[in-house]
Amino acid sequence: MVADKERVLIAGAGPVGLVAACALAEADIPVTIVEQSRELPKDLRASTFHPPTLDMLERFGVSDRLVEQGLVCPQWQFRDRAEGVVATFDLGLLSADTNHPYRLQCEQWKLTELLRARLEARDHVDLVYEAEAVGARQDDTGATLLVRRPDGSTEEMRGSYLIAADGARSAIRKSLDIAFEGMTIPEIFLSMSTHFDFAQAIPDLAPIAYVTDPNEWAVLLRTPSLWRVLLPTDPNQTEEQIKDPETMQARLQALCPNDAGYDIVHATAYRVNQRVAASFVSGRIFLAGDSAHVNNPLGGMGMNGGIHDAINLTEKLTKVVKGDAPLDLMGRYERQRRKVTLEAVQAQTLRNRQMMNETDPAQRRAYHDDLRSIVADPRKHRDYLLKSSMIQSLRDLEAVA
Distance between CA 10 and CA 163 in Å, rounded? Answer: 5
Low-confidence stretches of the chain (pLDDT < 50) are none
Contact 263, 195 (CB under 8 A): yes
Considering the segment(s) 186-271 as one domain, its CATH architecture is 2-Layer Sandwich (3.30)
**Which pLDDT score, from 0 to 100, does residue 356 have?**
80
Q: Among candidates 83, 88, 89, 75, which has minimal Cα distance to 365?
A: 83
pLDDT, tens digit (0-9, with 9 covering 90-100), for 238-259: 999 999 999 999 999 999 999 9
Distance between CA 371 and CA 346 in Å, rounded? Answer: 20
* Share above pLDDT 90 across residues of the chain, in percent, rounded to a whole number: 82
Considering the segment(s) 4-73+99-182+274-357 as one domain, its CATH architecture is 3-Layer(bba) Sandwich (3.50)
Q: Quick count: other Cβ atoms within 10 Å of Cβ 376?
A: 10
Which three-class secondary structure state does DSSP give residue 133? strand
Distance between CA 317 and CA 47 in Å, rounded? Answer: 28
* Share above pLDDT 70 across residues of the chain, in percent, rounded to a whole number: 97
pTM of the model: 0.94
**Which pLDDT score, from 0 to 100, does residue 254 have?**
96
Domain-wise residue ranges, the chain = 4-73+99-182+274-357, 186-271
**Which pLDDT score, from 0 to 100, does residue 44 have?**
63
Contact 52, 394 (CB under 8 A): yes
Pairing of strands 285-287, 161-164: parallel
Residue type at 346? Answer: Q
Query: Please, how many CA atoms are within 13 Å of residue 365, restricted to the half-sphere of its CB?
Result: 3
Q: Please give the helix or strand (H or E) that residue 259 lies within, else none.
A: none
